[in-house]
Structure 1
Amino acid sequence: MALSWTKEETPRWDAAKRAVFGEHPPDVFGLKATDDQVLADEWWKATDGDEVVGYGRLDSVWGDAEILVAVAPSYRGRGIGEFVLDRLEREAAREGLNYIYNTVRDAHPDRAHVTSWLCGHGFAEHPDGQLRKRVSRT
């Protein structure tokens, strides 16, 4: 697999994102999106050749950024999530951000697994429900 990382200049909620996010509506992931709507924040896509296999999002506020990592259902368990998370961390470092964080919502279909996965990648749980990680400057 030869993965590429590309920033979307005008991200939209489109067929490619629907395919990666699977059967779940975007609000499960904290997104307010309708078909072909332009999306806020910074979005990147991970591709394997011509196929979109994952997405990453940074929502920067006051020196920190909420992140979102999404991997196409048929590609889960192949390291795509780690690839996306690594690239998001690099983008955050390049932008001089302090922390990246995520809040896995109660409605998330795989909440326990995602929380465990993020903690396994250096995120710490905080009392407010956020999972936070200091951005490495290396």
Structure 2
Amino acid sequence: MALTWVKEESPRWDAAKRAAFGDRPEVFGLEPRDGQLLADEWWAARDGDEVVGWGRLDSAWGDAEILVVVRPERRGRGVGAFVLEHLEREAAREGLNYVYNSVRTTEPGDAAGWLRRHGFTENPPGQLRKRVRAGVSR
């Protein structure tokens, strides 16, 4: 697996994202329609020509909410860690202080535990955040 990180210049909701998010994108705060332009900055994690995951960075007030999504059949293989690492680098490049995620109780799996294992701490309850490392480069 040789993953690459590609910024989506005009991110849109499509079949590939729908396959990764499953039939409940609203769990992640999205209510998209096919072809709809998506807000924020989006990147694709690619394995060759196949998109296997996405990262979203929604920055405001010096911090950024992140979203990490991996195609179900590629979970548990390091794709999520790859996406998270690259989102942290993008946030550092933009001079942001923290990346965070407000884990909803309706999210599938153990998102909160996964974030904690990757250095996030809970603050305030339900929101996990991590200080962006200064000087992180591409």
Answer yes or no: is the 8 Å Cα contact 1:58–1:66 preserved in 2: yes
Residue in 1 aligned with 2:122?
Answer: 125
**Cα deviation, residue 127, structure 1:** 2.8
Alignment of 1:8 with 2:5, yes or no, is no
- The alignment partner of 1:81 has SS state of helix
In 1, distance between residues paired with 2:124 and 2:93?
A: 28
Alignment partners' CA distance in 2, 1:31 and 1:66: 14
* Aligned sequence identity (%): 69
Structure 1 stretches lacking a partner, 5+ long = none
- Per the alignment, in what secondary structure is the counterpart of residue 90 of structure 1? helix
Distance 1:17 1:63 in 2: 28
How many angstroms apart in 2 are the aligned matches of 1:98 and 1:126? 14
- Which residue matches 2:49? 50
Inter-partner Cα distance in structure 2 for 1:76 and 1:10: 26
Q: CA deviation at 1:11?
A: 0.3
Q: 1:31: which partner in 2?
A: 30
Distance 2:82 2:49 in 1: 17
Q: Which amino acid in the other structure matches residue 48 of structure 1?
A: D
Off by >3 Å, runs of 4+ in structure 1: none
TM-score w.r.t. the length of structure 2 is: 0.94
State how many pairs are aligned: 135
Q: Give structure 2 stretches of 5+ with no counterpart.
A: none
Kindly state the Cα deviation for residue 36 of structure 1 after the two structures are TM-superposed: 1.1
* Counterpart residue number, 1:115: 112
Question: 1:21 deviation in Å?
Answer: 1.4
Contact 1:46–1:55 (Cα < 8 Å) also in 2: yes
Contact 1:46–1:52 (8 Å) recurs in 2 = yes
Deviations 1:28-72 (A, max 9, x none): 111231221100000000010111100000000011000000000
Normalized against structure 1, the TM-score is what? 0.94
